[in-house]
Amino acid sequence: MTAFMPITLRFCDNKTMLVGSVADAETALRHQWPDKTAPAYIEAARLVRLAVEGSCCPRTAFEAFSKTARQQGILVVKPRSRAHDWLDAAAGP
């Protein structure tokens, strides 16, 4: 199973969930979203299902899922930690 940098979602019922894999994303899609009829949501759900089945790249599915969560306003944005800044500086030229 491919793991990604976890994201936090806050659903319409105010419940939160940490999502770090396509399996987590599949579970999260069953929660209360603002608009499950939105084309981006439907496409993300399709890609996540295909990734779980093994016929879609997990990264593509997770990125579509994250983008949809951001568009629907349920992605909880946290400030970057000092560790991120340090890693960026260490990886830089």
Distances (CA, A) of 81 to 5, 6, 40, 49, 58: 13, 14, 30, 32, 26
Tens digit of pLDDT at every position of the chain (93 positions): 678 999 999 999 999 999 999 999 999 999 999 999 999 999 999 999 999 999 999 999 999 999 999 999 999 987 666 776 776 777 766
User: Does a structural domain hold residue 66?
Assistant: yes
- What residues contact residue 51 under an 8 Å CB cut-off, 6+ apart? 22, 57, 58, 60, 61, 62
Domain with 62 in it: 22-91
* Per-residue pLDDT, 2: 74
pLDDT of residue 90: 77
Q: Is residue 58 part of a domain?
A: yes
0.85 exceeded by pTM = no
Domain assignment present for residue 16? The answer is: no
* Number of domains, the chain: 1
Q: Considering the domain boundaries, does residue 53 fall inside one? A: yes
Residue 30 counted as domain residue: yes
65 falls within a domain: yes
Q: Say if 80 falls within a structural domain.
A: yes
